[in-house]
Structures are given as C-alpha cells and as structure tokens.
Structure 1
C-alpha cells in the first residue's frame, strides 16, 4: 500500500503549486453553486468539445469539497492524467485497491453502491483489486467510458533507484466502453479459482458492435448518402456500407435495428434529423445498460482528406507494418471503398487506436458488405420489428421471437452465427439446399459420427472471443490456456473421426466443414506443448514456459536468481560455525525469508551488525549484512523476472496472433456445425417439413402452415389451427384478407412471412408441405402509432412506411400491409388503401397479403380475377333477436375458428371485441342499437343505388320530336 504524503499550510510552496492553488481557488469560487453532474438518461459524448455530462478541462473534472492550499503528490498525479482523459471515469491503482477521485468518485458511489467520502482535497471511493472486472463492467454498462490507471514501478526496483522516495509512477493502462470490453481487467476467466469451471462462466454473448456513421447531402440532387463502418472488436467482425437514404432515414434505422450496436460514433455536426433518430433508438430501451452509447467526435475527423491520411498512415507507415506481410493488399482494397466509407474508416481507426484494438482492421480483405448483397434477402427495419425476428415487441427480449424458436445452439460463437442467419436469409438456391441436405442428414443419419461431433461442442468456451482477445494481446494466461487446450483437444478428436467422416457422411457441406477443420486447428498443439499447464492455470508467468531455449532473457534472469540463492545457502555454513549450531537452517515467517533464529540465551554471540527482524519470548530472528544485501538483490531479480516474463508473454501472443485468421476460420466451421445441429433439433422436436425452394418461380405455396413462435409458446397444447397459402407471381398473387377483429388475420400474415424466412435460411418449416420461390425481400407495414419526437402523426407514419415499401419492392418481393388507411377518415383511408393495393397488383406485381376492414377493397377481385382473391378468417355468429328498443338491443356473440376460407367477410364484428374488453353492458347495448341503425341506413342507400343503376340500364324512354318518335336506353 502506498502512503500519500501531505503537507502543512506553512510549508514552502513552489511556483507550480502556487499556480495549482490559484487555479483551484478560482475553480471552487466559479463552481461552488453548481450541482454535481451525474450520467444523464441520454447524452452525446464529445471528445474535443465535451458537450456531454462531464466537465471540460477548463472546468475541473474533479469535485472538491473544501479549499486546500496544497495538493498531495497522488492528487497531482491524478489531475495530470485526468486532464488528458476528461470524459473518462478513472480507476487508479493504489496498492491493494483501486481509487476514484472527485466527480469520478461520486459517479462510482452512485453506480456501484459504494461509500464516497472526503479525503484531503477530493471526494474519494475505492474498490478491491480482485473485484476490478466486476465494477468496470458495471460502470461501462451504464454508458461510461472507464480508464484503468496502473502502477508502472515495482517496490524493490524502485527502492534501488535514485528516486526511491518519490511517488510510484502511474499511467493509463486500458480504456473500456460498451464495444471495447476486451482484456484481462474485464474478463471473468481471470477471477476463477478453478479453471475447470471457466466453461460455465456467463460471458458476453451479445453483439458488442461499434458503428460509425457519416452522412453527406447533395443539394443539387437532394440526395442523402450515408457511409457506415461496423466493427466488433471482441470477435473480429468488420462490415462496411454506403447507401442512399430518404427523409425518414428508414435505411439507416433498418441497419441499426438489424445490427443492434452498443456504441455509435458520429461527427459533431450530425444533422438534426439523424441525431433525433439515434436519440429515439438509444432511449428505446427501459434499462440503461441496454441503451446505445453515442460518442460524438470532431467533425474534421470525418472529412475525406483527414480520414484518408489516417488510413494511409495505418496501412502503409504505421506501427503495424511488420505484422502486415500476410495482407499486403489491404491498403489498395481500402482505396477501392466509396468515399463515405473512407470518411468513417478513418475515425474508427483513430478511435480503436485509443483502446489499442486497431489491429482488427488490418485485414481489409475480410471486410463484409452490409447492403447491396446479392446473396441475402432484404429485411427492412419495419419487417424486423413487426415480425419479431430477433426480439419481441412487448419486452424486447429474445423469448417470443423467431430467433428464440430456432436457437438451440450450444456455443456462444454458434449463437452469434445463427443470429446472422436469421437476420440475413439466403437467396442462393444452391446454398439453401446445401444447408437443407446437411440438416436432413443430421436428422436421418444412424452414424455415431454426428452425435460424437455434437458432444464435442458442448461446454466449449467462447473460442471466437478468446481468439480475438489473444490477437489483441489482451488475454490472461488462464484464458489463453483454456482456448488453446480446447482447440488442441478438438483437433485430436476430429482427427480420430476422419475415417468415419469420409465413409459415413454424404452431405457435401458437412464433409467440407469437418474435413477442413482439423488442418486449420493444427497450429494449436505447437503452442500448447511449450506451456506449463499448472503455471498457466494459476497465472504464474515466471514458470509459464517449459523450455527456455527460445526465451534467453528469462533464462538469464533465472540463472542470476539461482546464483544468488546459491550464495545465500553457502553463507549458511559461516552462520553455523559462528553460532556453533551444525543443524541450523533458515526459516520463513510471515513472508520474510532466510531468517536466522537465535535463542535469547545465546544473544551474546550475535554480532552487532546483524539486523533484528522479529522476536518471540524464546527466539530472536536476524539477517546478516550479507543476507540483507543478497535478499535485496534477490527481490530486484524476482521483480525483473516478472517484467521479463510479461514482455516475453506479449511476444509469445504476437506469434500466436499470426495464426489468428486460420484458427478463426476453423471456429467459423464449428459455429456452422452448431447452427446446423440447432436447426435439426428444431425440425425434429416440432415435426417440421423440408420445403422445396425454387429459383425461377415466384410463389409461396404452403399446406397446413403454422406460426412457429405461437406454436412454440403454446407448447404441448398444440391448439394452433393450420392454414394454407397459395400465392403465385403469374397467378393469384394478392390475397385480400378480411374478418372479425381478433380473428387471427395478423397472426396468419406473419406466419406466411416467417415460414418464407425459415425456408430461405435453410431451415425446415412448420407445415405439412411447402414450396417457396426465392424472395428478394420482405416488406411489412403493420400497426398504427404516432411519432411525437419526429413530429409525425399516425397517418404520416403509415404513409412513410408505405412509401418505402413502394420504392423498394420488386416482382420477387413479399409485401404485407395490415389495415392501411385507418389513421385518417374512412373515405380517405379507403381511397389510399385501394390505390396502393391496385399499384402492387398491376405495377409492382409482387406477392401481396393485404389485411383490411374496408369492404370496397374486395371489389378488386372482380377487376383482377386472375391475380386477386378475397379471403376471411372463419367464425360462428350467434345473433340475438332483433328489436327496435335500444334498451333491449344486444351485440352479436361470435366464436373464432381461426381458419382462412375464400370469400370476403361482410362485417368486422368489433362489438365482440368490446365485450371481451369488458366494456360496460349499457354501452354495449347502445352501441349494438346504433350499429344496427347505421347498418340499416347504409344498406338502404346501397339498395337505392342499385335500383337506380338497374333502372338506368333497363328503362326505355320514348322521345317525341316533330311527330317522330325516338327510343333510347338510360
């Protein structure tokens, strides 16, 4: 533990200290009335201008509670580091604990529920060193940037230096935010006493993506272009995108909802519309730890020349040049990216460099495209939300989503890959059929190979995240050994299964994955064999390597230590002769080594220059001057050994990092196997069928299809009513669905979309039979709600979403519109719904499911009998006796059958829903009477209209003109 020296007010004050006192007094006077600022519900953190919730450099970032004339050396050291990291909560290592100061201490006290008190000039709080990873994660989850400041000097080495009486030197060791939780300080594997239990640790399974967004508006063409770079530093994913967006920013919103980043990097001059969108998304979660962290940076960093200069330095002249031999084309690949992407990549490189995680961007050939992807179906933001693809709309959790139904993966890296599969269904028939064949073989194979491989995947640690941690050189010895031993074990066991894989499997995908993986895993064993297992599991880097041939620095230091120990042991002979005790040996008490115990009765023969260490009633314990000197030297060498071993450990991780991309490919193969096993398990448990997937035909033919999520939620009850679907691009491609409220219309149309998505991601589907033509995109417009924060009414929201669908849908798309037009008057709503549906039928020519309560829309079946069909959800109607008395009128009672049948429903029977909602009986009677009254009036008007029309067609009028008669028909 380090002491913090303090000074009296009478001490002589240096010039720098006088400056600090003046500055401190000014700051206290200026801010004494300002309340302490803590983390707000939402803020844009800005590196340069710091317009968020933290005070700027000129406004001290530390909270003082009383005026002192002198800062302690530790406080001055803290203030110096804080000036460089104003927007960061700093944890400062002080012996056996980490301390917070000033405003950081008050934040820590609030978020960590610990005590905060005044100590010298600043408020302070502290946490134990062994609980650092817990508290850092808690602060980061609340949206803070956290810095860990560590001591850079050791006790023995400092004691032998010229500045031995000065303060321990400290520097920022690591920074952490929501997207950059990589390293020993935040890895729970470090904190386990038993490494064998490490596989059971709940680790970060979420997608901790960092997204960088830039935008440019062309005033002439009035087009908004958005550039995007998405990085997941913890597992190595990098994605880029460039796209045109509309006034509602639906394209940007779609990508954010699909990726679900935890942190977004934006320029300080972000447009008001985009800033409002990000704010709405960031605040959409009730829990603070689920909210997106927004980091606002200088807009100059997003300008093309500046960003390009950063990229050039990184790929051509930066510190990673030597590590870039395997990817010499990275710079040229980056130069081929669109300028909006360049404007994002530069700031991302600079940002990750602050966290020492920039290496993940070295291999630009692994960058993936988010949009304009010919291989994947497009799912819009509204589609992802309304179909509940990744999470349900009620609580935001995974349960109740399509992902929840399909996810039976056993590994965290498999879980992440399946999430990508679900949000990006395939468009290639060959790839879809390859997955289907693999799933079918897993289901039908009687070979013991596949069960053996599935068992290998159980209880595996997060290999993908572990490899990335090693690549960043931020892993502990425990984590490294866990990852490398797991990879080596997988290699050995897969090698043993090779003959059976060759002879017993027929699926090309399964054989490719399983036969390639052992070769990719081969480097792991070479690294494992040089490690001392016991030392690796306990974190003892000084005994880490079995053979020191390749580590001459460590060998030399260890030899010096052995030499000093030998000298101390030889010195024992002299002590024995002096004390006339041939059996005397050194003892160790309370960590003090090489103690010489002398009975109190023999103290007269103890030399005067011996140093007394401790004593009891019987013994005195001493060090000779020789032992004092040698012990001091031994402590220095031991601390130097720790330094040398840490250095060699980093070099060792660097060598392992050269195999990162090969091993990552092997883990990707294992993740694919995990996903295929998951799809097979779902198909088996729910008796799904294998759908036929067609390249050329545009069709969705489903026999006895079910909603996968609702069926799973119902469990063993199995009461879901199956329904058929017949949509064909060259035939009946539009279904107009009517029927009573709560009759199952919305569930049915969602069911059709979800079955289509499942078919194209390679899964079996909940149906008796299914045939699906490749769909290039699914567009869903459902629900009705306003958006006050964007200044949009309910109807405006409806029309904006519909406009996006009209702009994006093609003849190979599936469009689902639920009650379009209900946000305005009946006449306007019918007009817009009618015109929109007719456009999809006649112009877009896509497959369409249109749910409506407007009877006039059903007339489109008569206009386009080849392409449109009317359907409704069946029900049983129990009509009460008719009466003219309002007091005795009763609403109808209906029984839902949830069966889709042909024909249009005459009414929606909303009063039945009112009864289910427990509206008072008196109101129901009045509503029933008025409903019958209005219905009679409308029917009479229609009847009169039909009579007039018929009369005009059939009536013959005789006109007399000049004695001549003329006959004409009206």
Structure 2
C-alpha cells in the first residue's frame, strides 16, 4: 500500500497536536509514544525530529507533512487510540540535507536527542525509555549551519510590533541575522508595511497573534505566506522590553545605544526573546541594535521591486536580475552587502558620494584594485564562523576561517598603506588595523594545516603547540616504538639479551625472561626493588616495573587524553575569538565594503559605466542611458549592440515640478526596456555605484514607483485590470514632487474609452497634483494633445522605419508622437496565420474610415484644469478625383529627384486650388 496517498486522503483522521496532548491520548500511549506526545505538546508549531538510534523519526501529522515535503515513504508503527500511527524517518548522518529542504519550505523543526545513556535507563527497569529532550529549534530565521545558508544571502529573522496609542497605532520592525550578528530597528506604518518587509526580505517574520489575525492586515500576511509566524502577544510586551534588551547585552540602560520608540523596543525585545527560545542555552554574538530612519532609504513599493527584478526575476531566478548584472564581488560578505545596498538605496547625497568616491579612486588605480581583489579572494566568511563558535556549534574549520581572515586582513592592510584611499576606505583600513595581533598569534601557534570538520575528531592542534599533547600523541601513535625503546633499555640494564616486553589482555604489558636468566632480577635487593614479579611460567618468568605500569596507563589513555587536551585548546581559542567578536565583525564589514567597492570599480571599467552626479536637486538628466541587464545579455549572445537613449525629466526652467514624458510607439519598439532602464539607473545611482550611461545627473528620488507589465491576483479576487488600478491608485496617492514614476499602458485592460479616460486623468493628476518626474508610456495616441496644455509634459516616441510593408524597430527614443502602434505588423512577426493578418488589416481600414474624427480634439476642449478651447484647425480629408488620378499615375521608382520634386509641387498646387474652390 502507498501510505503517502493513503494518509494524504485521510489527513483529517490523523490525530492533531491538541488531541495528542489530551489526557485520554496519554493514558492509552506506550511509554515511548507517551514521551513523544509530551515533547510534541511543548512544541506544537514544529515538526519533531525524535531520535531513535541512527534515525530521526516523525509520527502522526508530523510524519504526514514531512513525507509530502521530503518525498519520502510514509509507513506506520502500531496503533494509538484505535488508529494506525503514521511514521517516517531520516538518517541522522543525512539530517542536514533534509533540514535544508524543510527550512526552505518554511517549516520549523524541533530536534529531539537522547540525553541519557541507555545503560542508565535500564537501571530503572527493562521497559524504561531513554530520556529525550529538544536540544534545538531549527527555524528559517535562526539557522547558522554553513550547509543550510546561502553564502551570498542574508538570513534575517524579523519581528513586527504594533503599539496602540492615540488614534493611529505605531508599528516597528526589528531584524536580526544571527549568522552575522546584524541587529537593526526601524519604525514603519501600515501603508508601507509590506514594502518595508520586502525591502529586508526576512526568512521568518514573527508577530503577535492578535496582529496576525487582524483583517485589515490580512493582505500583507497573505503575500508573505509561511514567512509570517504568529506568536503569543506577551512576547511583544513593551512594558518589559527595555529590561529584557538590557539584560541580554549586560547593560543597565539602553541610553548608550540611542533613542528608541516603544514600538521599536517591543520589536527588538520580541526578536531577542525568540532567538533565546530557539537557541535554548546558547547566546549568539549580536551587535547592538542600530536604528534606521525610514527617510534614509529610497522607498520602493512591492510591485516596483517585483517588475524591476532587482534580486530575483518574476520566475524566482537570480539569473537575469540587476543584482546578477552588478555582482563582481569575490567574498560572501561582499555579495551580501551588495544585495543589501541594492535593496536599500540611500537618500543622503553625502553618503552616496562617499561610496562613489571609493569606486572612482579604485577605478583610477587598476593595478592596486587588482591586488586588493586577489587578497580578498583569500578572505573567508568570518562573521558566520564567529556566530557558530559563539553558539557552540563551531568546529576547527571555523577557527581556521578566523585565522585565514586575519591573515588576509593583514595582507590587505599592507596593500592599502601603499594606495590612495577615499574617506570610506580609510575607515575600512582603520577597522582592519584594530584587529588584535595576539589572536592571530594564538591561532597560528595552535592550529594545524589540515583541520577536521568536527572538534571531536581531534588532530587540529599542530605539533609543538603543547608538550603534553605531543607526548600522549607519541604514545598513541608510536606505542610500539616507545615499548621497543624501553625493552632495549631494560635489556642493557640487566644484561639479558633475550628480554622481551609483551602484552596480553590479562596482564597488559609485562617483561618476560627465561627462568635461567631471571637471577639478576630476583637475587639482588636492587633487582627486586626495580622489577616486580608478576607470574612464573614453566620456562619463563614475568615482571613489571613502576615505569612500565605508568607507561601502560598512559598508552591506554593516550587517545582520550590527546582529545581532551585538544578540546581544551579549542575552548581557549574559541573564548579568545568570541571575546574579540566586535572588532572581528567590524573588520569583516570593512572587508565586505572594500570588496563591494573594488567589484563595482571593476564593473565600471568593464562595462564603461559613468559616475553619476547625485545631489539634492530635482534633476533627472541621463545621456546615453542603457539597460544594464539587457546590455550584458546582448554582449554574451554576441548580438547587436544595445541602442543607448537619453532621458531628461528635469524641471523646465522656472518650474518646480518635474517633467513628464508621454511615450508612444509600437509594441516591440523598446518602450518597456527604456522605462525600466531609467528606473534602474536611478536605483544604481542612489545605491552608490556608477551607471550605464555617458553621463547622468540625478537629484535625490525619495520614492520610486514602476508599473510595467500585467499580472493578476486571482487568489484575492483581483483581475489583471483590478491589480493595475490598485497599483496605479497607490502611485497617485503616494508620489511626491521628489518621486520618480514609471507607468506603462495604464487603462489598457478595459474598454477603449474607459481606459483612455483613466489614462488621461492619471496624466493630469501626476502633472498637477503629484508634480513628480515621470515616464508615461501609452498606446492611446489621443493623449499626445495634452502636451499643448500641460507645460511640463513632452511627447516622445520609439522610432521605427517602414520598408516594403515591413516595420523595422530602431529602438531609438526621439521627440514627437507615434500616429499608430503597428500592432498588426507585430502580430505577423509573432506568427499569426496570414489569413488572420490580412483580415485584421481589412477590419482596421474600415474602422479608421468609419471614424476619422480624433476624439481628443473634442476632449481637450473640456480639459478640467484649464477650460481653454484648443485653437487648432481641423483638416478634413480631401476627396479630389484629379489628385487621386495624378497620384495613381506617379511611379516614384522611375523618377529622377527633380521630376519627383516637380510632381510634388503640382500636387500641392492642385490641392490649394481644390480648397479655394
């Protein structure tokens, strides 16, 4: 029977955690199952890995869920309360692989180990169960194992706190990466809650169950899915928060850390409490909490993050993202810092220019930058090694990582002494130089070259580090040679050449001589004092000495003693490393900063990027801009070069509001690429890197909105058009005069005149109410007449060329407006049947003939912002048979330029005569 299918269809019949915890359940359970039920009752929200021999077993609903998630066979083990008990298991030696998959799917796992020797359990009775207990809670936001973590990604646990005070509740976020010690806080608001959470991208979000079940916030947690984990509300008690944080950091007051709101303290306290709960007795080396201001980073709403594909594509891949295009880092810490900068661009020009200075200085010193990069390649991930050591999960290789990191730091410091540095790089060097020299000396003097994964394997302390260890290792590894040496010594001392030292399981080591040679050992006082008689045989006598007995004891205990000495050395080194945690983390951050700067300098040289001018103005002037991701993709494919395009949304002279470009042109002409590239250039400039352009001048953008592409949200009952309208509403309600707004095809999801009306009103609102810088792409060509009345609105179009009925996309942006969208030509290129294309052309011609009046000419008369009639002569289509006949008679291919010009003048003259008549 396939139990996976069987129990999947009967999942409702499997006993729930609450049912298992009942008195009836416990009273009918076997001793082992009773123990499982009791431990499970204390960990209801986690899968329980219950240790049985060489396997972690799961039972009841845990087994059902784990078997589905891991794709392993679901079996059964006896019955409980009249039902078969579902069971599945994973081998202990492969547990990390299964944990990685479960954690990736959002599960939490309680690891339950035997905490008692089976022999002790038997003393209580033959049916006694070995004591077990949870030794660790493994959750997505609290893992530290190298195998479970992505080297280039942060692993944040986030806490969300809400404090009700006054008319509006206060919200705050705290996020911790226990694998690196990062600890940060920030206030937020309900309107930007999802955006702030997605900016950090936590692996796990804890919040009070009352907040989790608030219907007003339900849409936020629906998006987050398994990431959001409700906890008891008492965990977020703001009254006890300050005391809890102070106790964790061993201080009497938090005044030295800064000033925090009640909501921030509640979030920080909850995060610390959850870390203590999951790590049990261990204590991660967290940095002191750092407060972030919401205004210090560029606000990017969730929809914009998604369609700009900053760190993952819409399909969830890393390939094809902006991060992948920018990443030239060579260390794990550098890769994580680059991603963090990309997700949180700055709004302070001074800090941005500090980063740009570093890149420029390194780009001007390519040899120096190359040497630094080579040295950085040797720098391991010190923060994560430090975290594992602090939590008691570290091994010799983690100490080796600290040692290698210190050596790399010393090399880098020497290199930096010979180069020109920016202020940011000078600070980095100071942090590196603050590393304690004594720590490196201790590690060099103690650690060997070949380090085992686990400390219990021994062999990681080098020869010469400890005299006693060298001695016991010699006994352990060279006992035969030591015994042979002692045998030679005794033989020379007694003059008995046949003297042998032997061993058996009864006597252990002993000296054996023939009975005839034993006189020198038994007949003198010195001999009797030196050699102790053990046994007389028919033809031999056996003796021992105090020295031999002690040696035997040492040999027997040498392996245990060697490991004990090594473990003591490990503890000493770990204590020294943990004591230097703050300077180690500061130096690691300095190395990451240097890695990011060098990588971005390499990128700038490789891709011909330019340093942007970033200031507090409202400028947005880009000359020769390119899409960084598309351009690199074209280079890899050896395709045509990317066509660069400028964009100037700077306020016109005398105006305070930003300019808006109304962009028209055909599908496949490159509109979406152009829209996205300008948004990406703004992000790159404010994260502090060079940009893909000939030049760029960008005044700080406070909020970036990009609505490009179509999607639906059927799970929440939203059609594609509804999602479009919700996102557009968010933009129109939140954009400021410092924002950058990118909109594509607003209103295309509904009836033509409805969509046109919405797009028209949206353009007006952006221009007059938001007064932001913006790009508005549309196929509603009627909107182009708005440029005549909206002073900061300009028309731009994607240029095309027609050749023998085909359309050629030039991917160039120029002033003006498109008169049509070339949709039928694109449809033909897509492979629509020729009959369909032909019929579409016929229908289009008839529709255009049926309604030649431009509705925009009438609509602009009722423009609500101006109420000024348009003064434009409406040219009616002429119907002159003479002109028609003259046109049909012309054959341009057979005409000289002069003949063509004469024909044109003749037609013009005929047309003037027809109008006059």
Shift in Å, 1:88: 3.1
Aligned with 1:823: secondary structure?
coil
Structure 2 SS opposite 1:385: helix
- What is the match of residue 312 of structure 1? 243
For the residue of structure 2 that corresponds to 1:533, the secondary structure is: coil
In the alignment, what sits opposite 1:430? 350
Does residue 383 (structure 1) correspond to residue 300 (structure 2)? The answer is no
Deviations 1:890-945 (A, max 9, x none): xx642211111111111222222322333333333332222222212221576997
Q: Give the equivalent residue in structure 1 for 2:388.
A: 469
Contact between 2:329 and 2:599, CA under 8 Å: does it hold in 1?
yes
Instruction: Look up the match of 1:698.
Output: 618
Write the distance in 2 (CA, Å) between the matches of 1:313 and 1:436.
Answer: 40
Change (3 A) 1:234 1:495: closer
| CA deviation string 1:540-561 (max 9, x = no partner) | 5677678999999x99x99xx9
- Unaligned stretches of 5+ residues in structure 1: 1-31, 41-50, 190-201, 283-291, 599-608, 611-622, 880-891, 955-970
What number of residue pairs does the alignment pair up?
814
**For 1:484, which of 387, 394, 402 is the aligned residue?**
402
Distance 2:686 2:756 in 1: 35
- The alignment status of 1:787 with 2:713, answered yes or no, reads yes
User: 1:583: which partner in 2?
Assistant: 500
Matched with 2:914 is none
The Cα of 1:187 is off from its aligned counterpart by 3.9
1:421 Cα deviation (Å)?
A: 1.4
Aligned to 1:531: 446
Change (3 A) 1:920 1:225: farther
Q: Structure 2: how far apart are the matches of 1:782 and 1:943?
A: 25
CA distance in 2, matches of 1:517, 1:952: 70
Q: Is 1:205 the equivalent of 2:152? A: yes
TM-score (normalizing by structure 1): 0.72
The equivalent position to 1:457 in structure 2, one of 356, 376, 380, is 376
Work out whether 1:439 is the aligned partner of 2:359.
yes
1:808 to 717, 723, 734: 734
2:249 matches 1:330: no
Structure 2 stretches lacking a partner, 5+ long: 80-84, 513-533, 536-543, 862-868, 875-917
Aligned to 1:265: 206
Is 2:672 aligned against 1:725? Answer: no
Q: What's 1:20 paired with?
A: none
User: What corresponds to 1:102 in structure 2?
Assistant: 59
**In structure 2, C-alpha distance between the alignment counterparts of 1:187 and 1:82, rounded to whole Å:** 28
1:179 paired to 2:141: yes
Q: In the alignment, what sits opposite 2:231?
A: 297
Following superposition, the deviation at residue 161 of structure 1 comes to 12
Structure 1: distance between partners of 2:177 and 2:857: 68
Quote how far apart the aligned CAs of 1:641 are: 8.9
After superposition, the Cα gap between the structure-2 partners of 1:112 and 1:830, relative to the gap in structure 1 and judged at 3 Å, is closer
After superposition, the Cα gap between the structure-2 partners of 1:151 and 1:69, relative to the gap in structure 1 and judged at 3 Å, is closer
Deviation for aligned residue 1:758: 1.8
Write the distance in 2 (CA, Å) between the matches of 1:729 and 1:840. Answer: 14
Q: For residue 744 of structure 1, what is the aligned residue in structure 2? A: 670
Q: Equivalent of 1:58, from 11, 15, 19?
A: 19
Query: Over aligned residue pairs, what C-alpha RMSD do you find?
Result: 5.1
Give the stretch that moved more between structures: 671-680 or 773-782: 773-782
Deviations 1:211-266 (A, max 9, x none): 22244678x95x564332222221222232322224xxxx2221233222222213
Which residue number corresponds to residue 278 of structure 1?
A: 221
730, 745, 760: which is aligned to 1:819?
A: 745
**Closer, same or farther in 2 for the Cα pair 1:411/1:649, shift >3 Å?**
same
Distance 1:330 1:641 in 2: 45
Whole-angstrom distance in 2 between the partners of 1:658 and 1:216: 36
Report whether the alignment pairs 1:876 with 2:821: no
Q: CA deviation at 1:668?
A: 0.7
Alignment partner of 2:501: what SS? coil
CA distance in 2, matches of 1:649, 1:52: 51
Query: What is the distance in 2 between the residues matched to 1:928 and 1:227?
Result: 58
**How far 1:873 sits from its partner (Å)?**
0.7
Matches within 5 A, 1:116-195: 127-153=90-116, 169-182=131-144, 186-188=145-147
Structural mapping, 1:232-247, within 5 Å: 232-246=177-191
Map 1:418-817 onto structure 2 (within 5 A).
Answer: 418-445=338-365, 448-481=367-400, 483-497=401-415, 499-501=417-419, 505-520=420-435, 522=437, 524-529=439-444, 531-533=446-448, 537=452, 539-540=454-455, 582-586=499-503, 594=508, 649=570, 653-695=574-616, 697-715=617-635, 716-731=638-653, 733-817=659-743
Q: 1:763 to 1:349 in 2, by over 3 A?
A: closer
* TM-score, normalised relative to structure 2: 0.76
Report how far residue 863 of structure 1 moved: 0.9
Distance in 2 between residues matched to 1:808 and 1:895, nearest whole Å: 39
Query: Structure 2: how far apart are the matches of 1:774 and 1:53?
Result: 58
2:375 and 2:412 in contact (8 A); partners too: no
Alignment of 1:339 onto 2:262: yes
User: Alpha-carbon deviations, 1:459-484, whole Å to 9, x = none?
Assistant: 53322222222233321222222x22
Aligned to 2:267, the other structure's residue is in SS state: helix
Aligned-partner SS, 1:900: strand
2:333 to 405, 410, 413: 413
Equivalents in 2 of 1:534, 1:142: separation in Å?
38
SS at match of 1:586: strand
Q: Report the Cα offset of residue 723 of structure 1.
A: 1.1
Rounded to whole Å, the distance in 2 between the matches of 1:425 and 1:748 is 21
Contact 1:587/1:597, CA 8 A, preserved across alignment? no
- Partner Cα distance (2:852, 2:277) in 1: 73
Q: Which has the larger radius of gyration?
A: 2
The whole-number CA distance in structure 2 between the counterparts of 1:873 and 1:659 is: 59
Contact 2:363 2:369 in 1 (8 A): no
